[in-house]
Amino acid sequence: MITLRSAEFFRLQLKARMPFRYGIATMTEVPHVFLRLTFDFAGRTQAGVAADHLPPKWFTKDPNRPLAEEIDEMLAVIRAAVTQARGIRAATPFAFWRALYDRQAAWGGQNGIPPLLAQFGATLVERALIDAFCRAEGVAFPLALRENRLGLDLGAMHSSLAGTQPADWLPAQPPAQVFCRHTVGLSDALTDGEIPADEHVADGLPQSLVACIRFYGLRHFKLKINGETERDQQRLARMAGIFAAECGGDYAFSLDGNESFHEVGVFKDYVTKLCATVGDAAFWAKLLFIEQPWHRKVALSPAIGELAAAWPDRPPIIIDESDGELTSLPTALALGYAGTSHKNCKGVFKGAANACLLAQRRAQGLPAMMSGEDLSNVAPVAMPQDLVAQASFGITSVERNGHHYFAGLAQFPAALQQLMLGQHPDLFTKSAAGWPRLDVRAGRLTLGSALTAPFGYAGELDLSGIGAERL
């Protein structure tokens, strides 16, 4: 049986190298947390680690709530999940997570915490559990998932998958490289010339869109929109020109609405205007999908199904923030969405089951897609774990923006910097200042060392240089 023996919590405040404007928020700094849990696996003890940002205004998008209050709420969610986990005994990692999911859902309901936020705490426990299990078993996550050593019961997640195994749907080998889909935030400079002199970042990394394309060889992009038609038209038109000049015809992009649309019907008119006024047919042929344009209050309403029926030639549209529960993806598919996103903060087992469900739909000739998205996560733990999960699900275009808005591992202790350079030389390289930065080449990331690590990162983490907090 699997039980939780002990828990440690660490917190580091990270400052962004430039403001990141997404939706209703602009991030200039953010807490980054580590959760180290020690589990007993039938008499064997092993620690595992999970990590993530605590980003205000993503899990709940209330413009009136103070940032500190939202961060305190995220911390409370994590503490609650650890408390719930202490009372669980389970035969497999999946069974442990499922028991935790149900307990956390009940706790969230009792305390008025929405599912997406409540389960964020459970996913941190889940990720630390997976890391500990893979280390105890001496197996890398992709193989543990494919051989179902984790005990994933697909039928318990989606009834149509009953009697099947992950290997029936997931790739035999995860891709060794993925496209690094670069985020262009709502306030990001498109050229160096438009950066005010007092806002230039002098850390050796590129800042504007053009500079990033040239520095990293970028080919995939995620473009933030906010529903202000004239503003979005002008900004997208400029980016279309930049892509044509810098990438030729070799690029692709997604649009991220960040829940900007509160009325269902107006989005169709908005898209029609964009397509008529921005770029040309060749530009729009590069559109991969549109992510979560509607606010979560209406995104899974019957009105979406009615719009889909009246809009047969719509571009692929997926959910992201609305993917808060196990039933969210089936509900979205029934309404006409093309699929959902994956990011580890929404759950690894949930993401694996969703990936299998979408693969089943594709096998039936139905439209189905899973995108790789981001929570601005950074190394040494959150980003490699997220990349490995994405690749294991067969995703080949993964949004990465943590390396753009934060200066690599410059703010982390030297021991963690050396660990990444030593254990993951294909994923990281030294910056001009000596700290590790993500090594994006020809717009891609190489994942070999991360895929063969237990769960994303190899070696033992020395977290002694980061402030510990009691849970």
Taking the whole predicted model, whether its pTM rises above 0.75 is answered as yes
Residue 471 has pLDDT above 80, yes or no: no
What pLDDT score was predicted for residue 12?
96
DSSP 8-state symbol, 457: B
Residue 156 has pLDDT above 80, yes or no: yes
For the chain, percent of residues with pLDDT exceeding 70 = 99
d(CA 260, CA 223): 14
For the chain, percent of residues with pLDDT exceeding 90 = 92
Per-residue pLDDT tens for 363-411? 999 999 999 999 899 999 999 999 999 999 999 999 999 999 999 999 9
Range 301-308 contact pairs with CB under 8 angstroms and sequence separation of 24 or more: 301/264, 302/335, 303/264, 303/265, 304/264, 304/335, 304/336, 304/337, 305/334, 305/335, 305/336, 306/264, 307/264, 307/265, 307/267, 307/268, 307/336, 308/335, 308/336, 308/337
Residue 459 has pLDDT above 90, yes or no: yes
DSSP-assigned letters across all residues of 85-120: HTT--BSSHHHHHHHHHHHHHHHHHHTT--HHHHHH
What pLDDT score was predicted for residue 189?
96
Residue 25 has pLDDT above 90, yes or no: no
* Residue scoring higher pLDDT (22 or 1): 1
What pLDDT score was predicted for residue 308?
97
**Across the chain, what does the average pLDDT equal?**
96
Per-residue pLDDT tens for 335-362? 999 999 999 999 999 999 999 999 999 9
* Residue scoring higher pLDDT (361 or 467): 361
What pLDDT score was predicted for residue 23?
67
Q: How much is the average pLDDT of 420-431?
A: 98
* Residue scoring higher pLDDT (242 or 27): 242
Q: How much is the average pLDDT of 16-38?
A: 88
Residue 128 has pLDDT above 90, yes or no: yes
Per-residue pLDDT tens for 248-302? 999 999 999 989 999 999 999 999 999 999 999 999 999 999 999 999 999 999 9
Residue 51 has pLDDT above 90, yes or no: yes
d(CA 228, CA 3): 51
d(CA 202, CA 199): 9
What pLDDT score was predicted for residue 59?
83
Residue 28 has pLDDT above 80, yes or no: yes
Domains belonging to the chain, first-starting first, are: 2-139 (3.30.390.10), 166-469 (3.20.20.120)
Q: Is the bond into 66 cis (omega within 30 degrees of 0)?
A: no
* Residue scoring higher pLDDT (29 or 60): 29
Q: Count CB neighbours of 18 within 10 A.
A: 23
Q: How much is the average pLDDT of 56-61?
A: 78
- Does residue 436 sit in helix, strand or coil? strand
